[in-house]
Amino acid sequence: MMKRDECLKALARHRTAEVVVAVYTAAQEWIQIAPHELNYTFTGAMGQGSSHALGIALGRPDRRVVVLDGDGSLLMNLGSLVTIANAAPQNLVHCVCRNGTYETNGAVPIPGRERVRFAAFAREAGYRGVYSFDSLAGWEASLGEILKEQGPIFVELEVEPGAKYPEDFERLYAVEYREKFRKALAAS
């Protein structure tokens, strides 16, 4: 099992010009680990990270889009797996941080946490590439190729909480950052 923040730091080391859509706890960590104008972050719309990322990927097929989803969040919108696979955006990498909980809501266990495998759902839905990682070394060694691979790609990351990061809801919801993202996406 990996520390989530260490997984995110590995992604930050490999990031070039990708749009990163991050939700909930990953969003709170991502804005501290990898501040960037092409970060699209939010909370409060559980399950919608993959759908937002799909919209960006379809709207900007020239841009690689990486979504940092949570297993509890994805569980709220499993249908997005079929929708994404059907739309088949070649530029989408869908990462799910799997810790078996609705972490933002107090680490309440998700239903079926011991047997649910989101990578299997994605494979059956029709994602072009599906990966699972439970070691940081394996994740980091594969990241460079995954970020170049034709999508949609699904990555299940077995994680546990890492270091504590401050919650900055004001930053996540600030119109200023939404506008910076909009301008950066339009300019690139």
Domain boundaries, the chain: 2-187
Helix 24-33 vs helix 4-14: crossing angle, to nearest 10: 50
What's the chain's average pLDDT?
Answer: 90
Q: What pLDDT, in 10s, does the model give residues 34-90?
A: 999 999 987 667 778 999 999 999 999 999 999 999 888 898 899 999 999 999 999
Q: Residue 39: in which H helix or E strand, if any?
A: strand 39-42
Q: From CA 55, how far away is CA 124, in angstroms rounded?
A: 22
How far, in Å, CA of 33 to CA of 141, rounded? 20
Q: In this structure, are residues 100 and 161 in contact, taking their beta carbons and an 8 Å threshold?
A: no
Say what the pLDDT of residue 174 is: 84
Domain 2-187 fold: Rossmann fold (3.40.50)
Q: What is the mean pLDDT of residues 122-136?
A: 98
For residue 24, what pLDDT is reported?
Answer: 83
> Over the stretch 77-117, which tens digit does the pLDDT of each residue have?
999 999 999 999 999 999 999 975 555 665 656 667 687 88
Distance CA 159, CA 132 (A): 11
